Amino acid sequence: MDSKQRFKRQVATKVRIESLSSGKIIEKGGRKFLETKYGEELSRVRVMATVVGKFISEDSKFASITLDDGTDTIRGKGWQDISLI
């Protein structure tokens, strides 16, 4: 059995950006999680937010977007396939 067959993908949890920015990274069983102030352990998240900023480098090798959901802002960055941004 290869590693793809043994690994079960975690379910994405809907969270607010404030929960991400106020959480802390913990390691448990050899895996890293984000622990929120409410005690939730998150490995995959789903955020609904508005894009309030966008940057694409002149050489198109780097891009970032700033997301705001009303509780806080967070920046997503990309280095390879930036066509989605």
Summarised one tens digit per residue, pLDDT across range 64-85 is 999 999 999 999 998 887 777 7
pLDDT value at 62 more than 80:
yes
Domain boundaries, the chain: 11-78
pLDDT value at 1 more than 60:
no
Mean pLDDT of 43-68: 92
Quick check: 37 and 19 in contact, CB under 8 A? yes
Tell me if the pTM is above 0.85. no
Dihedral sign for Cα 4, 27, 36, 53, please.
negative
Question: CA dihedral in degrees (67, 69, 73, 77; nearest 10)?
Answer: -30
